[in-house]
Amino acid sequence: QAGATTAYIAANFNNSGSPGTISNWMLTPEMSMSDGDTLSFWTRTVTGSTFPDRLQVRLSTAGSSTNVGVGANDVGDFTTLLLDINPSLLQGGYPDDWAQYTITLSGLPGGMADGRVAWRYFVTDAGPTGANSNYIGIDTVEYVAGMAEPCTALADIPWLSVSPANGSNGGGTNTNVTATFDSTGLADGVYTGNLCITSNDPDAGPGNGTDLVIVPVTLTVRPPTAVVVTNLAAESADLPAGGTAAAVSAFLAALLTVVVVSYRQRRQRR
């Protein structure tokens, strides 16, 4: 694992009265999580330990909440159990050499959520005179964002609209679907998404073989082209017919308007 030999967090039997129940929590910062993300860490007890230990990994999807309840048997907002190491408190049931555990997140509300992960050192009949609890260490925690399957968490794409959004076709017929991009209010950058199209056609798409067709879409927003007007001291020959200073201003304003509108139209078609 990373760091020095002693660079890890640990807890032991003194986390409780004698005897008592240990419920000692370690929480991550609030983070955005998605189905497919992975969490890994290393843990161990001491070599040859005869006092069983136990560790749970729990999940809260309640944002920044740190609510773990008020009693040793409470879990507060951390109601989802991701992993339970040695739940039966068996001798030898906890690794006495560093072992890595990896958890893949799944079943999040809508495929994604904001919340925290917690490690819970949870041992009953624990403490200096209890039958259980000795020592655990936790090291090298890593959280890796995964690649969620497309179309598992459906949501509107604010810069994209389609028409028609649904309908039906007779056998051997087709209907054109128009996708419209709108960059209004978007910062410069590249925006991506997927059109998720379901159908009861037994052959929904060439080589697709499924009732779901996924169409990737990309919108690139670039900064406007700078328009620089020079040589404003136009000679009379350069003015519009019957031109005056006011007419020149109106002429230039119209020209700039045409340039901007033309640019916006081009950008929306991308």
pLDDT in tens, 7-17: 999 999 999 98
Question: Mean pLDDT, to the nearest integer, of 166-190?
Answer: 87
Whether 177 contacts 164, CB under 8 Å: yes
Q: How far apart are CA 248 and CA 231, in angstroms?
A: 12
**Confidence at 80, pLDDT banded by 50, 70, 90:** very high
Q: Apex CA 88: angle with CA 49 and CA 73, to 5°?
A: 105
Region(s) of the chain under CATH 2.60.120.200: 9-144
Distance CA(102)–CA(122), nearest Å, equals: 19
Rounded CA-CA distance 32/116 in Å is 9
pLDDT at 259 over 70: no
In the chain, the N- to C-terminal Cα span, in Å, equals: 48
CB 86 within 8 A of CB 54: yes
The whole-model pTM stands at 0.58
Q: Which CATH number fits domain 9-144: 3.40.50.2000, 2.60.120.200, 2.40.30.10, 3.40.50.300?
A: 2.60.120.200
Mean pLDDT, rounded, for 183-191: 88
pLDDT, greater one: 66 or 234: 66
**CA–CA distance, 81 with 107 (Å, rounded to integer):** 12
- Give the residue, 121 or 199, on which the prediction is more confident: 121
Instruction: Return the closest-CA partner of residue 192 out of 184, 203, 181.
Output: 181
Q: Check: CB of residue 58 under 8 Å from CB of residue 80.
A: yes
